[in-house]
Amino acid sequence: MNYNVQTKPAAFIDRDGTLIEEVNFLSQVEDLRIFDYTEEAIALLKNRGFLVIVVTNQSGIGRNIYSEADMHAIHENLQARLNGSIDAFYFCPHLPCDGCKCRKPGLGMIEAACADFAINMRDSWIIGDKKIDVETGFNAAIKTAMVKTGYGRQHASDLERPPDIIAENLLEAVKLLLG
């Protein structure tokens, strides 16, 4: 066992409504709209040594609205437009009723990322626009940030327990968590 492995904190970031504009069941690259501040937010995280890992529920696959290949094309386009700055994409294709462990607020995607990367969970964050993103962070015992973009304004009032940060958008959340 290598005890000298350097760990890095991760920013687990929700895709729709957080990194990119919310489009109900985004299925085509042509409909992908990246927020103006996304590239700067990711650059700030990378400059501070964070892994940037996208964790996204994609039940449109399970509903047969779009294919896994369609989703991968969107991720490839997003990665290209962000200059390859995202370390990994993890997704859950299942329906909410399927009872899988990968769908947020379950920890399957975070556990998969921890198996693939040396992650310092103590200093890691999850950032998203939905209650389930915040709940995922609570379940993983990491810090939580909710953005008011996407569904954030609606979901902020539904939280039983407040996140560590509530911010207007991803860039503001990143600036606050970096201090």
For the chain, domain boundaries: 10-178
**Number of residues that this document lists for the chain:** 179
User: In which element (H, E) is residue 11 found?
Assistant: strand 10-13
Q: Is 14 one of the annotated active-site residues of the chain?
A: yes
C-alpha torsion 13→89→101→167, nearest 10: 10
pLDDT tens digits, residue range 40-82? Answer: 999 999 999 999 999 999 999 999 999 999 999 999 999 999 9
Instruction: Give the mean pLDDT of 130-155.
Output: 97
Pick from 158, 157, 177, 179: nearest CA to 12? 177
Identify the band that residue 1 occupies on the pLDDT scale cut at 50, 70 and 90: very low
| pTM attached to this predicted model | 0.96
Among candidate residues 16, 31, 123, 133, the one labeled active-site is 16
Across the range 137-154, mean pLDDT stands at 97
DSSP 52-108: EEEEEE-HHHHTTSS-HHHHHHHHHHHHHHTTT---EEEEE-S-GGG--SSSTTSSH
**Does residue 133 have an active-site annotation?**
no
Closest CA to 55 of 96, 22, 102: 102
Q: What is the CATH number that goes with domain 10-178? A: 3.40.50.1000
